[in-house]
Structure formats: structure tokens, C-alpha cells
Amino acid sequence: MKAISIALVFALLAGAQQPVQTPQTTANGTVKFQANTQLVIETVTVKDKNGKPVEGLTAKDFTITEDGVAQTIRFCEFQKLDELQGDFSRLLAGPAPAPGPEPAAAPAIAVPGVTAHQITPERPGDIRYRDRRLMAMYFDMSAMPVPDQVRAEAAAMKFIKTQMLPADLMAIMAFNGAAVQVLQDFTDKRDDLETAINKLFIADAGLGENANDESTADTGAAFGEDDSEFNLFTTDRQLGALQTAVKMLGQLNEKKVLVYFASGLKLNGIDNQAQFQATTNAAIRANVSFYPVDARGLVAQSPLGDATHGSPGGVGMYSGMSAMANTNNFQKSQDTMYALAADTGGKALLDNNDLSQGVVQAQKAITSYYIIGYYSANTAMDGRFRRIKVTLADVSLKLDYRQGYYAGKEFKKFTTVDKERQLLDALMLGDPITELTIALEVNYFQLNSAEYFVPVVVKIPGSELALARKGGAEHTLIDFIGEVKDEYNVTVANVRDKVDIKLSGATAAQLAKQPIQYDTGFTLLPGTYSLKFLARDDETGRIGTYLNKFVVPNLNKELKRVPISSVVLSGQRVDMRDSLFTAGKDKTPAVNPLIQNGHKLIPSVTRVFSRSRDMYVYLQAYERGVTTMQPLVAFVTFYRGQTKAFETPPLPVMEGMDSKSKAVPLGFSLALNKLQPGRYTCQVTVVDTTGQKAAFWQAPVMLVQ
């Protein structure tokens, strides 16, 4: 009988994080499967004493050590970059075919993509972009004023049209203050790149920093919050967006450069140092070099600022403190860009009006190089820095390579900062993460003539916590993060919270059958919004994302029908003290109409109801322009196909109008045991007998035993 030895180890790739298994057959026929923990990719530039790339080397010529331990090189491949000038698209296409009759063809139909562009990842050890130079142009639109945005886009267009080389592949990325967008994956097609540049929306984003020193303009406004508080979070968000961008690029094995267009970036003392270090570490790990470009160009500053800012006022104008602070702020904004470049092996372009030279600098930085891969002998997932040394027998050759990398880290070893960074990265990513099942429902109720309360109910099946429970955990935290954006992609509301879920005792028994619910709410104006909401099991690290687009209507413009809120269908009404089903009970807004007399109505997100339990229906009708309430009549009807299966008696409502919001609450409790299991259409009808108006609402429901 043949012996089979199987070694199963969780595999983690430093860039693409995928397991690699290698089957080997020995002389006696024994099959052995070997799994390695980390595939480490190094890009090594080898030049002679004249600065010319050296070709023809193999894996046997290189020696690699990691923390002093020799490593076995698994593959070594030379990337030869062509430096020919000219129209690269014509050169790559090859000779033109001989002319001949063209067959008739149906007109092409442009089919728009269903998802936004992404950086397409590579498999471990796969070199997709062989003999190509990878450059990404990144535009920080959140903090560049309009003139700088125009200059940055013009420089990018100039490079694409006149300075690209045959070996160049470009990607276009942008940060709009809310999320990192990949406008174009790596390509050598100039038309596609120009189209991506034209997609950049030039506007005053208004997220720039406000100085809080002697150079601050005297606006005469009342004392408010310290501007430095806002600067701290703005800078962290900009650096975090850069970190997200380099992680996207880290999915590729080749050497990459990121050309960073921005109008300076100023750290606020030591407060941003943690995020700055995290960004540079991520760039080193992803083998990305920053090439920042100051989009302000060559600046000639007047001592007290220009006409775009108000006069600072105060004694600082006469002592020279205002002029000194103005100069220091400008220098600090360039120092951060210089540090980003220096720490990652790049070079910053400062005080130069030809911004395209910054892209040319990045282009010239990548010459022919070797891609070397090895599986690390150190299997620890500790996240620590590991120093790499690459040597050649010929000591006269000059080597340029990454001096080390940060090892992968298991989720259970994440620090609080690591966990927070993971959530923020997931929120910024365009693609949802579906490791954790999550369902969500959004409703709206009018508060006054202008504002609406929008309750959000999130449900997670209790069975999703089975992994944490199997691991012996007594409890787990569920992290929640979300943001609401308007139709202009501006964030108007957000939420960040966590709840503690017990996994032992009676609660554990209920989790197998009951969902966990989280409630929150926002106050919004009428409009079209998009909601992105994430939940994470803090014990296992699994994340679930829910994306939803919803409309808050302007009920003041509803003249032909009775204005009503959204309708909530529920199969549960629970005590607010129930910790399992009301995970966020302490943070539920007091204006939530679903909470009455110490009990909360739990919306049925899936709208599946048991015949053994009652169904609760709740909504509000609004009577505008009245001083005394007008009588209303409401009823609920169930249809099965075109046949009416059930209808409640008309419910007359003579009182209960709120004097402020003019809202009239309407509630039903329905016994479902007389209906057969199956699919139905539930219709709610509200009639104003005085004004001879009505409103109708419909939704599909499912009845089960």
C-alpha cells in the first residue's frame, strides 16, 4: 500500500495571498504534497559600472537571505524594457496586412461594463505583464483646488500623448474624498487612457486643510471647533486612500510606480505618524514606489498670502509671525511628499511647472530588472519586518532591490489599529466582500416639513457565528461601519459602532434559529442616496457588505394621493431589554417610530412570515395644512395572483395626529393561520374620506408553516 504524506498549512502570499501546493513523486512512488506559507517576490535591478542593465543572469547567480537565513530561489525571470520612441500602438501591432476586400459586418454595439474598473490580480508566480513598465497615475481630487486639478490633468494628457514608450502600461486612479476609484486598469491604449482622464470631475472638493496658526485668516466668525481636529482626520483619510491604492497594486508581481498628483500633504505633528508609517509599509510590501508631483507647480508666495485668502489680522502681521507661519505650512506640505518618495524609493517633483516631468521621472526609474521569487522558510504569521539581502558573485555589479518586507498576519494577531484599518479599506473598496451574510432594510418617516428620519435595520443570521462558537469563544464583537452618500457621491452621514454578542448559555441556543439585529438611523433631506454598510465578526475576521440605493421622496409635493411613509412589515415585537435581538438598543435614536411603549417592532427584511405568528403592519400618513385631524380609513389586502385571498375590515382612524409632524400612525396586527403557505402580494390602502384621496402600497411576501 502506497504511503501518502500530506502537509496542510495555511498559505499566505505576500502580495496576492493565495496558497501554493507542489506535488512531488519520490523514487519509491510516495506522493508528497507540500504547501508553503509565503511566496516572496523581489524585483532586482542589476547594472554594470557604466549604469547599463546586465542581462543573462540566472537563479544560480543570485544568493538571497532573509534575516540571515539562506532561501531557495524558485524562479528568476528577466524583464527587458524596450526604450524605443514612437507610436507604440503601431509598433506592437506588427506589419499591416495586405489590402483586400472587406466583408460586410454587423454594426458593433457598445456594451457598458457592469462593474467599475479594477486592478486585475495575478496568480502567485504568474508574470502577466512580461517586459512591460507598470505606472499608475493617482489623482487626489479631494484636496487639490480647481487650478491644480486642471494642471495635473493637462500634464497627464501630455505624457500620454507625447511621452509614453512602447514598454509603458498605464493605470488611472483617483481619490474623491470618499473612495479610491480605478478609472482604468493597466493598458497601453492611449484612447482608453485619455477617456479615463476625461472622467475626472473637476470641482472644488472643499476637503483641504485649514491652518490654525498665525497665518489663519480672520473671518470674524464666532469661536468654533479647532481646525486642527479636522486636519488630523483629513490627512489620515488621504494617507489611508494611498494605502488602499498600493494594496490594489500589490496584487501584481512586477515592479510598480505610483505617480501621486496632489497640492501638498501636511502631517499634523505626530498625530498622523501611525497612518503615514502604515502607508509607507504597505507600499514597501506591495513593491510600489511613490513619485509625488506637487500640482501647485512653481509657487512665488507673497509674505502674507495672496488674494484667495483673507488677511490673518492680529499682531502676527506686524511681528513677522504670519509670514513665517505661511512659509512653514508650505514647506511642511512638501516635506511629507518628499518623505513618501524617499521612504519608498521614489522621487518627488517639487517647484516645477512642467508636471509631466514627474511622470517621466517615474518612467526612467524603471529599467530592465529581474523578478525573483522564493518561498520563505519562516512560516510565522507575525506581521514583523523581515530583512532581505541579495548578492552576486561579481561584486562590481550594482544591485537595487527592496531591502525587506512585512510578513503576513493572522486575523487573531491583528491589533486594534490593524482591525480598524481593515474595515476602512473594505469600506473604500469598490467590490463588496461577502464572507458574512448580511441583510438590510431602509425605511423613511417624515419628521417635519423638511427632514425625514431614515431607520436602518441590519440582520445577520445567528448561524453565521458558528465558526466563532466552535473556536470556544464565549462572546464575539460585531463591528459595524457604514456611510450614506448623496447623488453627487458626497458623504452626508456615517455610522461606526460595535456590539458584544454572547456565544454561551441560553443565548447560544437561540443563535442557531434567530438572527442578530442592529438598528441605527439618519436624519436626511429628500433625495436619492446610496448606502454602503459593512459588518465584521471580530472573532474570525469575516466581513459582509451590503450596498443599497434608496430614495427619500418629498412628500410635500404629493398632492394627488395621501402622503404616506414607507410601510414596515414585521413578525416580531420584542422588549427593548432583549440583548440578543436589539444589539444596538442603547444607540437607537429616540425619534424612531418603530419603538413604542418600551417595545420595538423588528422589520422583516426578508418578508418571510410564519403562519403560527401574527404579522404587524405599521406606517404613517401625513395631513398637511390642517389644524384638526381629518378621518382616515385603512385596510390590508392579500392577493394570490389576481385573486383576493384575505382582507382586513376597514380601520377607521379618528385621532392620534402629531401636532408637529402632522403624522397619523396606522398599525395592524394580522393573524395568518387562516391563509395557506405560499407567495402573496400584500397591499396596504389608506383612504382620506374627506379629501377623496387614497394611497396604495404593495410588496411580495412569503408565508411558511
- No. of helices (H) and no. of strands (E), the chain: 11, 35
Question: CATH class for domain 133-218+225-365?
Answer: alpha beta
Beta strands 256-262 and 133-140: pairing type? Answer: parallel
Beta strands 39-47 and 398-400: pairing type? Answer: antiparallel
**307-316: average pLDDT:** 59
Q: Of 636, 650, 649, nearest to 680 (Cα)?
A: 636
Q: pLDDT, tens digit, for every residue of 40-90? A: 888 898 999 888 889 999 999 999 999 999 999 998 989 888 654 444 343
Residue 190 pLDDT > 70, yes or no? yes
Q: Of 232, 58, 249, nearest to 169 (Cα)?
A: 249
- What's the number of CA atoms in the CB half-sphere (13 Å) around residue 338? 8
CA–CA separation, 348 and 342 (whole Å):
8
Weakest-pLDDT range from 359-373, 376-390, 418-432, 652-666: 418-432
pLDDT for 135 equals 94
Residue 360 pLDDT > 50, yes or no? yes
pLDDT band at 469 (very low <50, low <70, confident <90, very high): low
Classify the phi-psi angles of 614: left when phi > 0, otherwise alpha if psi is within -120 to 50, otherwise beta.
Answer: beta
- Percent of the chain scoring above 70 in pLDDT: 74
Q: Which of 127-131, 160-164, 400-404 has the largest mean confidence?
A: 160-164
**319-341: average pLDDT:** 78
pLDDT band at 538 (very low <50, low <70, confident <90, very high): confident
* Higher local confidence (pLDDT), 113 or 148: 148
Cell of 418: 490593524
Question: CATH class for domain 432-704?
Answer: mainly beta
Residue 322 pLDDT > 90, yes or no? no
* Higher local confidence (pLDDT), 12 or 529: 529
* Higher local confidence (pLDDT), 430 or 209: 430
Dump the DSSP string for 241-282. HHHHHHHHHTTSSS-EEEEEEES-----TTTTHHHHHHHHHH
Residue 472 pLDDT > 50, yes or no? yes
Weakest-pLDDT range from 66-75, 153-162, 176-185, 243-252: 176-185
pLDDT for 12 equals 29
- The backbone torsions φ and ψ at residue 399, rounded to the nearest 5 degrees and listed phi first, read -110, 140
pLDDT for 564 equals 93
CA–CA separation, 664 and 373 (whole Å):
69
Weakest-pLDDT range from 63-72, 379-388, 436-445, 674-683: 379-388
pLDDT for 269 equals 64
Residue 154 pLDDT > 90, yes or no? yes
Q: pLDDT, tens digit, for every residue of 215-270? A: 444 434 333 333 333 344 677 788 888 988 998 898 888 889 999 999 888 777 66
pLDDT for 695 equals 92
Classify the phi-psi angles of 206: left when phi > 0, otherwise alpha if psi is within -120 to 50, otherwise beta.
Answer: left
The total number of residues shown for the chain amounts to 705
**442-465: average pLDDT:** 86
**Distances from the Cα of 201 to the Cα of 153, 245, 589, angstroms:** 10, 19, 36
CA–CA separation, 341 and 347 (whole Å):
5
pLDDT for 473 equals 61
CA–CA separation, 444 and 535 (whole Å):
22
Model pTM? 0.57
Weakest-pLDDT range from 160-164, 228-232, 653-657, 695-699: 228-232
**445-461: average pLDDT:** 88
Domains in the chain: boundaries: 4-80+370-406, 133-218+225-365, 432-704
Weakest-pLDDT range from 197-206, 418-427, 463-472: 463-472
CA–CA separation, 148 and 237 (whole Å):
20
**567-589: average pLDDT:** 63
Residue 36 pLDDT > 60, yes or no? no
- If you average pLDDT over every residue of the chain, what do you get? 77
Q: Of 553, 589, 331, 326, nearest to 452 (Cα)?
A: 553
**CA 586-456-430 angle, 5° bins:** 120
**439-451: average pLDDT:** 89
Q: pLDDT, tens digit, for every residue of 483-505? A: 898 888 778 888 888 887 766 65
Weakest-pLDDT range from 172-186, 584-598, 678-692: 584-598
| Contact by Cβ (8 Å): 134, 168 | no
Q: pLDDT, tens digit, for every residue of 523-537? A: 999 999 989 998 888
pLDDT band at 160 (very low <50, low <70, confident <90, very high): very high
**587-593: average pLDDT:** 65
CA–CA separation, 361 and 275 (whole Å):
26
pLDDT for 526 equals 94
**172-186: average pLDDT:** 86
| Contact by Cβ (8 Å): 307, 217 | no
**154-172: average pLDDT:** 92
Residue 653 pLDDT > 70, yes or no? yes
Q: pLDDT, tens digit, for every residue of 367-402? A: 888 989 898 988 887 778 889 999 998 889 999 888
Cell 502506497 found at:
2
* Higher local confidence (pLDDT), 84 or 449: 449
Weakest-pLDDT range from 494-498, 564-568, 642-646: 494-498
